[in-house]
Structure 1
Amino acid sequence: MSLSTSTISALRQRLQAGEISAVDIVEDLAAAIAAKDGEIGSYLSQDLEAARTMAAQADLSKPLGGIPIAIKDNINVIGHPCTCGSRFLASGYTAPYDATVTELLKASGAVLFGRTNLDEFAMGSATENSALKLTRNPHDLSRIPGGSSGGSAAAVAADLAIAALGSDTGGSIRQPASHCGVVGLKPSYGRVSRYGLVAFASSLDQIGPLTKSVDDAALLLQAIAGPDRRDSTCLNLPVPDYLADLNKGVAGMRLGIPREYFGEGIDPAVREQVEAATKRLQAAGAELVDISLPHTEHAVATYYIIAPAEASSNLSRFDGIRYGKRADAPKDLADLYQRSREEGFGPEVKRRIILGTYVLSSGYYDAYYARAQKVRTLIRRDFETAFGQVDAILTPVAPAPARKIGENADDPLHEYLSDIFTLGPNLAGLCAISVPAGSVPSGEGTNLPVGLQILAPHMGESTLLRVAKAAEIAR
């Protein structure tokens, strides 16, 4: 069996038994990438020699010793490109430092191998907004892998990565995990350091794992979670043993089914698969409880005011002076700013910067941004009330399976609405995970994966993983 198809847990056992070496895994992955990634397009770059060196020196006694991990290309790895899927950083920019998660992975013995594709600056739900290449869904090459962490999800699903890191601002780990049939975990806000992640929306972004199993997600989260003095939003709290309660099952747990997530607008085949997954958890001993999250309908509008506003501020640093794209022969400083940003940013990034600048502008701040923050509070309170009744919440990840590449390409509102089930946890700072729930026929001879989303309270990752493991076993 190819090593690239294995989980972290299985490879760790074989490494420690001396059956294989870390270099063997890297070589096997490199061969798989060479054979298959030309049609999938999950990677933007790989440094095989650096990975071989790391693998040869890996300390197999460490928790992730010898395991290659792919990294979304908006997370800094010292000495490697960090393009963010943008022309702005594609012309020779090299990361001058390691992100905290990168440091922690190295400290855990992991081998960093490959930078994965993404929507430009993580703004998108399809990975079609990358300025550098197109990524395809391994289950149907005519369809999107989801986004913005589509390269990471596609690589794991196609066995071109053992596991990967992504970032999630409004569903960018969970939605591609659902579309590609892998596990994708968004940690609670403040659980994982954002230092070294190129910021999109600072009050929403979180880094998390995409893996082939819930056990692997727990292992990766264990490695990257914890306080960081360089990130003031990262909470100074102890990190639990995420494997300790993983196999306790759901007997006696109360799992909420929010009626707002199963109503109008969801594909009937998707609803059927998600409901079947909830029934399997009920059969495993959980009690299903009908709940309401009444402000769900406002999540899309709220998110698409707050996130672009923060993006407008964060992306102001890309000005053609300090690093990245710089316009040739500018007439003056204003021309340098204008043309560097015009030439460097793609259409979706420009759209969000313009929207964010507008809602922050004089005369509109109170009408839009301040009001959106108040609605965000209402959404958070909905979840707090719900978690007073239940241990975790079960929902779909996306209202439909992966769409065709290019479909609705000229309708950004349709794309924004596809995030309706994943935005709430980011606005409320919760932890959430997508686990495979089944598949639906595409009508063209392929089956398209569907994910079950599980939500748990802030810093409730142990509960989240326990329910996710039970769902994985029951499938």
Structure 2
Amino acid sequence: MSGLDAFSPAWRVAEAVAAGSVGAETVVREALDRIAAVNPAVNAFTAVTAERALDRARAVDADRAAGRPLPPLAGVPFAVKNLFDIQGLSTLAGSKINRDLPPATRDGVLIERLTAAGAVLIGALNMGEYAYDFTGENAHDGACRNPHDTSRMAGGSSSGSGAAMAAGLAALTLGSDTNGSIRVPASFCGVFGLKPTYGRLSRAGSFPFCDSLDHLGPFARCVRDLALAYDAMQGPASGDPACAGRPAEPVSGSLDDGIDGLRIATLGGYFDTEGMPEAAAAVEAVAATLGGAHRVEVDGVAAGRAAAFVITNVESAALHLANLRTRLDDFDPDTRDRFVAGATLPGAWYARAQQVRRWYAERFVEMFRHIDVLIAPATPFPAPAVGQRTVAIRGREVLLRPNIGIFTQPVSAVGLPVCAVPVATSGLPIGVQVIAAPWREDLCLRVARVLETAGTARFAAPSGL
């Protein structure tokens, strides 16, 4: 007996396949059966690549039968946000317009690298249109729903990536994060997510949103899985200038090095959680586990977030300008309105936003001379209801969509690595950000591992699925 179930971590699946206690084809068939049974309730998948997956799983089993060594993720089912190129499928990026594109002729770089590591692609995942979304409510493919409560949002824009992970539909998933699109679904769905440093993982073979801010990264149900996936995907790649020369820096072997000697602080000021009881409790639990991390503030956070808004608006609008002129009615109205607004912003605003962003980044450079790891809330609240339009934050009723990312966007703006960890609660999931200096994903993951080992951060399977 393999001892595996739908929520088994990827590393355990790979070990069972390598040991021969279960076949990769069996693992994949069970994943496909679970997708058929559960996906109608959560709407995480937009395409299932069953034939491809079974062919790949049989190849893994054949390698093992022949005595050939298996790679570290052999037989592990994974799925990707549908802005990744998948050979034979049109790259939807959550849109109606992209359905007219020809099928991709090859996989995106990160899919190729996970496949080379033995993982088995099983499908493409729902997302907010063109990644411009924090809710997961797609106008064309329907809302992706939270496995912990299907009346609630999965979060966006990598909604399917978070929901599929929480629902036990894949052992690993990939998403993208421009302003929070990995960390928000990780928080709402109660899973782990890694937004690497800007330029760490190649974006080649993915549909862009905002080149200055786009990141790609993994979701998992444990820290070890995040590290294994991250290590498999590292390395320079042509097709993404931001990632052209960065060598791989494996982290899997250092996960259990602990946090002795690390200088850890909780971000306050802009990141205060007054009036946000769930977020406050999560941050307090993490800080207590880490020895009562002291509180620090970074200057210019609101200005940095404002700069990110302008950069996102302008760059994304420029990318879609031709379709805004000819196919305006084929956009989700919410996305369309943001693009139209971005297309009207003066160029001087964009130039100034980039200047502010560089100034704001220097504030973090100074902070990381004295601090190794920062702790901050991931979302101001647990998952809202599907269709909810407003929310109370700090005693004021505000629009929901732009304010879901109030704590993630200021971190993305300067490309810092972040591990989103799900904090153990008795209610709906909520997450905390573990933030480090550029290129120090190892520190994010080491701290996350300490929190996981202590039981403060953990994945909890949803009931009723």
Q: Letter of the 1:118 partner, please give it.
A: M
SS in 1 for 2:381: coil
TM-fit CA distance, 1:102: 1.6
Q: Provide the C-alpha distance between the structure 2 equivalents of 1:92 and 1:237, rounded to a whole number of angstroms.
A: 32
| Contact 1:436 1:472 (C-alpha < 8 Å) held by counterparts | no
Residue correspondences, number: 441
Hey, what does 1:356 align to over in structure 2?
342
Hey, what does 2:313 align to over in structure 1?
308
Q: Provide the C-alpha distance between the structure 2 equivalents of 1:19 and 1:468, rounded to a whole number of angstroms.
A: 30
Return the match for 1:110 from 119, 125, 137. Answer: 119
Using the aligned pairs only, state the percent identity: 34
Q: Provide the C-alpha distance between the structure 1 equivalents of 2:105 and 2:352, rounded to a whole number of angstroms.
A: 39
Hey, what does 1:385 align to over in structure 2?
366
Q: Provide the C-alpha distance between the structure 2 equivalents of 1:460 and 1:451, rounded to a whole number of angstroms.
A: 20
Q: Residues 314 and 338 (structure 1 numbering): CA distance in 2 closer, same or farther, change over 3 Å?
A: closer
Q: Residues 130 and 71 (structure 1 numbering): CA distance in 2 closer, same or farther, change over 3 Å?
A: farther
Alignment of 1:395-414 (within 5 A): 395-408=376-389, 413-414=399-400
Alignment of 1:204-219 (within 5 A): 204-219=213-228
Q: Letter of the 2:434 partner, please give it.
A: I
TM-fit CA distance, 1:261: 4.7
Q: Is the counterpart of residue 172 in structure 1 residue 174 in structure 2?
A: no
Q: Residues 2 and 65 (structure 1 numbering): CA distance in 2 closer, same or farther, change over 3 Å?
A: closer
TM-fit CA distance, 1:2: 5.1
CA root-mean-square deviation: 1.9
Hey, what does 2:394 align to over in structure 1?
none
Hey, what does 1:45 align to over in structure 2?
47
Q: Provide the C-alpha distance between the structure 1 equivalents of 2:177 and 2:375, rounded to a whole number of angstroms.
A: 19
TM-fit CA distance, 1:352: 2.1
TM-fit CA distance, 1:298: 2.5
Deviations 1:409-439 (CA, angstroms, capped at 9, x unpaired): 7999432122111112221111111011122
| Contact 2:91 2:101 (C-alpha < 8 Å) held by counterparts | no
Q: Residues 372 and 414 (structure 1 numbering): CA distance in 2 closer, same or farther, change over 3 Å?
A: farther
TM-fit CA distance, 1:91: 4.8
Q: Residues 162 and 266 (structure 1 numbering): CA distance in 2 closer, same or farther, change over 3 Å?
A: farther
| Contact 1:135 1:150 (C-alpha < 8 Å) held by counterparts | yes
Hey, what does 2:352 align to over in structure 1?
371
Deviations 1:41-70 (CA, angstroms, capped at 9, x unpaired): 110110211110011112561122211110
Q: Is the counterpart of residue 26 in structure 1 residue 28 in structure 2?
A: yes
Hey, what does 2:194 align to over in structure 1?
185
TM-fit CA distance, 1:106: 1.9
| Contact 2:278 2:382 (C-alpha < 8 Å) held by counterparts | no
TM-fit CA distance, 1:264: 5.5
Q: Letter of the 1:12 partner, please give it.
A: A
Q: Provide the C-alpha distance between the structure 2 equivalents of 1:380 and 1:88, rounded to a whole number of angstroms.
A: 36
SS in 1 for 2:379: coil
Q: Residues 265 and 355 (structure 1 numbering): CA distance in 2 closer, same or farther, change over 3 Å?
A: farther
Hey, what does 2:5 align to over in structure 1?
3
Deviations 1:59-104 (CA, angstroms, capped at 9, x unpaired): 5611222111101100001112321111112357422222111221
| Contact 2:144 2:159 (C-alpha < 8 Å) held by counterparts | yes
Deviations 1:196-240 (CA, angstroms, capped at 9, x unpaired): 110000011111000011100000111111101221111412212
User: TM-score normalised to the size of structure 1?
Assistant: 0.89
| Contact 2:238 2:244 (C-alpha < 8 Å) held by counterparts | no
Q: Letter of the 1:303 partner, please give it.
A: A
Return the match for 1:468 from 436, 448, 462. Answer: 448
| Contact 1:300 1:417 (C-alpha < 8 Å) held by counterparts | no
Return the match for 1:68 from 60, 67, 77. Answer: 77
TM-fit CA distance, 1:4: 2.1
Where in structure 1 are there 5+ consecutive unaligned residues? 320-336, 441-446
Q: Provide the C-alpha distance between the structure 2 equivalents of 1:165 and 1:87, rounded to a whole number of angstroms.
A: 21
TM-fit CA distance, 1:137: 0.4
Hey, what does 2:460 align to over in structure 1?
none
Q: Provide the C-alpha distance between the structure 2 equivalents of 1:382 and 1:143, rounded to a whole number of angstroms.
A: 37
Hey, what does 1:428 align to over in structure 2?
414
Q: Provide the C-alpha distance between the structure 1 equivalents of 2:270 and 2:172, rounded to a whole number of angstroms.
A: 29
Q: Is the counterpart of residue 229 in structure 1 residue 238 in structure 2?
A: yes
Q: Residues 144 and 158 (structure 1 numbering): CA distance in 2 closer, same or farther, change over 3 Å?
A: same
SS in 1 for 2:421: strand
SS in 2 for 1:433: strand
Where in structure 2 are there 5+ consecutive unaligned residues? 65-69, 392-396, 457-465
Alignment of 1:58-97 (within 5 A): 58=60, 59=63, 61-91=70-100, 93-97=102-106
Hey, what does 2:462 align to over in structure 1?
none
Return the match for 2:429 from 434, 438, 449. Answer: 449
TM-fit CA distance, 1:370: 2.0
Range moving further from structure 2, 177-186 or 52-61: 52-61
Q: Letter of the 1:351 partner, please give it.
A: D
| Contact 1:254 1:289 (C-alpha < 8 Å) held by counterparts | no
Q: Letter of the 1:373 partner, please give it.
A: Q
| Contact 1:87 1:345 (C-alpha < 8 Å) held by counterparts | yes
Return the match for 1:245 from 254, 257, 280. Answer: 254
Q: Provide the C-alpha distance between the structure 1 equivalents of 2:195 and 2:375, rounded to a whole number of angstroms.
A: 15
| Contact 1:188 1:430 (C-alpha < 8 Å) held by counterparts | yes
TM-fit CA distance, 1:402: 0.6
SS in 2 for 1:250: coil
SS in 2 for 1:303: helix
Return the match for 1:255 from 239, 243, 264. Answer: 264
Deviations 1:142-169 (CA, angstroms, capped at 9, x unpaired): 1001100010100000101111000000
TM-fit CA distance, 1:12: 1.3
Return the match for 2:151 from 129, 133, 142. Answer: 142
Q: Letter of the 1:26 partner, please give it.
A: V
| Contact 1:261 1:396 (C-alpha < 8 Å) held by counterparts | no
Q: Letter of the 2:328 partner, please give it.
A: E
Q: Letter of the 1:224 partner, please give it.
A: M
Q: Provide the C-alpha distance between the structure 2 equivalents of 1:299 and 1:400, rounded to a whole number of angstroms.
A: 22
Hey, what does 1:322 align to over in structure 2?
none
Q: Provide the C-alpha distance between the structure 1 equivalents of 2:86 and 2:312, rounded to a whole number of angstroms.
A: 25
Hey, what does 1:346 align to over in structure 2?
332
Q: Letter of the 2:56 partner, please give it.
A: M
Q: Provide the C-alpha distance between the structure 1 equivalents of 2:424 and 2:24, rounded to a whole number of angstroms.
A: 33
Hey, what does 2:289 align to over in structure 1?
280
Q: Residues 94 and 412 (structure 1 numbering): CA distance in 2 closer, same or farther, change over 3 Å?
A: farther
TM-fit CA distance, 1:251: 2.1
